Amino acid sequence: MPEIEITPETTATGVRAMEDKLWMPAGSPFRMLHGFGHHHETYVRLDGRWRIRTIKLSRLHIEVG
């Protein structure tokens, strides 16, 4: 579940936890990457609908296999 804070009426910021697994193609130096972190997002309200303005990924931990 994201943590979202509405700043004024038309903008907001949010943080959501993330986990991903990426499998690499043959010939890569490693087979798989398993990462944990957060997406830091900003939102804007346009024409009555919320839109994502920016997304930044920060990784806290990466496992390589």
Closest CA to 37 of 22, 17, 56, 21: 17
Give me the pLDDT at residue 25, please.
Answer: 95
Question: What CATH class has 3-58?
Answer: alpha beta
pLDDT in tens, 15-61: 999 999 999 999 999 999 999 999 999 999 999 999 999 999 999 99
pLDDT at 1 over 90: no
Model-wide pTM > 0.85: no
**Per-domain boundaries in the chain:** 3-58
Distance CA 43, CA 12 (A): 5
Give me the pLDDT at residue 62, please.
Answer: 97
Distance CA 9, CA 53 (A): 15
Task: Please state, as a whole number, how many other Cβ atoms lie within 10 Å of the Cβ of residue 35.
Answer: 16
